Amino acid sequence: MPEIKVTPLGAGQDVGRSCILVSIGGKNIMLDCGMHMGYNDDRRFPDFSYITQNGRLTEFLDCVIISHFHLDHCGALPYMSEMVGYDGPIYMTHPTKAICPILLEDFRKITVDKKGETNFFTSQMIKDCMKKVVPLNLHQTVQVDDELEIKAYYAGHVLGAAMVQIKVGSESVVYTGDYNMTPDRHLGAAWIDKCRPDILISESTYATTIRDSKRCRERDFLKKVHETVERGGKVLIPVFALGRAQELCILLETFWERMNLKAPIYFSTGLTEKANHYYKLFITWTNQKIRKTFVQRNMFEFKHIKAFDRSYADNPGPMVVFATPGMLHAGQSLQIFKKWAGNEKNMVIMPGYCVQGTVGHKLLSGQKKLEMEGRTTLEVKLQVEYMSFSAHADAKGIMQLIRMAEPRNVMLVHGEAKKMEFLKDKIEQEFTGISCFMPANGETTTIPTNPSVPVDISLNLLKREAAFGGPLPDPKKPRTMHGTLIMKDSSLRLVSPEQALKELDLNEHQLRFTCRVQLQDPYSDTDTLSRVYNHLKSVLKGYTVQHLPDGTVMVESIVLKVSSSAEDPNTKVVLLSWSYQVTPGCTIQGSQLPH
């Protein structure tokens, strides 16, 4: 029984270090190769020894596919390819290929240069790794080898995020990566056709959440910013460099444009500038509005948003500043925050989640006095706002994707076990016939498949069959036909028996059944034969009965011969012989010859 095996090395009932192994039709594919933000030891990378205990990675894996550039999906890539050793192809979309090395380099810098870790991948390794990357286009079917093909679908989430369909023969797997079913200001919604994969591997970050409309959030956000700016206050928005930052920039930029506002907006420089450049380039990956209007004006060429300089923070008058990092734990955003915290006219907007222990988290939990390093306390007078701009599909979105793709099985990864449980129940309850899995890391799920085997049929045979029973092949009804199946060189062909014999250079053998019937008949052999002949002729009307000159009687294709037995001349032995196609019904009647 053919089967598909899926083993998560990371992201099984967990968020972070996404890495999933799929074995399908004899091919092994690694989906994503991420790192875990929560660990600083070996656990931050997936456990590749699971594969390497049986040999090198390159021998085992046919290809690696990266869904998008977030580090929990691609962070372990240089480690895997250069330090563990993998030389096969790595597939990712063009934007991912462009932005991924920037983030990896940044990640490397922080780990090695700031934290001083050794035994980490180097810049050269990142470059070498990126050389192995093969770029993918949306909806482009790429043949990895003769049998394995992959195809990317749009996933929303971040620029260049893709869902991939992996197909071997008629078996297929769809891996969603992270996706978003509701469009936002710069990206569209995920979309897939009804490809009916054997298994859909879906993320489930928000398995137990149904979100409110995006518009309310946006409106709230804009209103808050607008009010503060009008009052003459300053707005600080701590962000991470890529993804949400661009969305918020577009949001503010269009709002400024619409409302004719004059207050400056700044974006703290750094890797953002590089990234923004790529956002400008990959217009086809953005949403309808940006795609349609970029001819007049590229939305990422911001008119109102300018690069930030440290000295601007002390400028009088209103302004909006985007600063990294997003959780206010260090860097520029924290510096600016310290400067502005004392004035109640100012405001800080946290657009995302904050990890416990960071300044951002303390702020959000309502602390009014913050202890800074050096025993100083900072009094927080400015307003603190929280807005969640998250780009994962919620429970409804996941269900919607399942409905779009119509898979036979669903597997949930990239989420918390407890939440998955709920969604799993829901999926099994609301889609009849779909079973749902949620393996933990290292746990293998096996899914039996029932692939249809394509067979080439010879045209002659097909025409002959069509002549028999109507022209239209009815796809809903099975039909039996007569032919020979030749399996040669892993190809299957259905041909007519004659042709098969010819091709295989075999002689045709006829199979005949014989049977002896003893009769008590005093006449001579020939007389008996003619008596039999006459009888048959009278009994079997509607059949052709022939008396042949060589002393045989033929009923259709059945041959009768009479000879007297050696011992008793009165006992005649009737020899019956028929080929296998003939139903022996009529021959039995012949034995009841009257005396």
Binding site for other proteins (CB under 8 A): 182-183, 185, 188-189, 191-194, 208-220, 222-224, 226, 254, 257-260, 287-289, 364-366, 383-386, 395-396, 399-400, 403-404, 419, 422, 425-426, 430-431, 471-472, 475
Euclidean distance between CA atoms 4 and 24, whole angstroms: 5
Please give the backbone phi and psi of residue 455, each rounded to the nearest 5 degrees, phi first: -130, 135
User: Which SS3 state, helix, strand or coil, does residue 163 take?
Assistant: strand
Q: How far is the CB of 132 from other proteins (least distance, A)?
A: 34
For 429, how many CA atoms within 13 A lie in the half-sphere containing its CB?
A: 6
Return the number of the residue (299 or 495) whose C-beta is nearest other proteins.
299
Return the number of the residue (87 or 220) whose C-beta is nearest other proteins.
220
Return the number of the residue (28 or 202) whose C-beta is nearest other proteins.
202
CA 591 to chain centre: 68
Q: How far is the CB of 242 from other proteins (least distance, A)?
A: 21
13's tokens: 């009932």
Return the number of the residue (462 or 500) whose C-beta is nearest other proteins.
462
Return the number of the residue (289 or 535) whose C-beta is nearest other proteins.
289
CA angle 504, 507, 512 (to 5 degrees): 130
Euclidean distance between CA atoms 278 and 297, whole angstroms: 16
Q: How far is the CB of 343 from other proteins (least distance, A)?
A: 15
Return the number of the residue (400 or 564) whose C-beta is nearest other proteins.
400
User: Which SS3 state, helix, strand or coil, does residue 117 take?
Assistant: coil
Indicate left, alpha or beta for 32 from its phi (over 0: left) and psi (-120 to 50: alpha).
left
Return the number of the residue (210 or 453) whose C-beta is nearest other proteins.
210
Q: How far is the CB of 209 from other proteins (least distance, A)?
A: 5
Euclidean distance between CA atoms 423 and 438, whole angstroms: 10
**406 is a catalytic site residue:** no
385-to-216, 217, 225, 533 alpha-carbon distances in Å: 15, 12, 10, 107
CA angle 125, 6, 435 (to 5 degrees): 145
Please tell me which residue in 82, 171, 203, 385 is annotated as part of the active site.
203
Q: How far is the CB of 92 from other proteins (least distance, A)?
A: 24
Indicate left, alpha or beta for 126 from its phi (over 0: left) and psi (-120 to 50: alpha).
alpha
Residues 217-239: b if buried by 16+ CB within 10 A, e if exposed: bbeebbebbbebbeeebbbbbbb
Residues 6+ positions from 467 with CB-CB distance below 8 Å: none
Q: How far is the CB of 422 from other proteins (least distance, A)?
A: 6
Neighbours of 146 (CB within 10 A): 6
Q: DSSP string of 152-164?
A: EEE--TTTT-EEE
Q: How far is the CB of 539 from other proteins (least distance, A)?
A: 38
274-to-99, 269, 278, 322, 576 alpha-carbon distances in Å: 9, 9, 7, 16, 91
Q: Which residues are catalytic?
A: 203
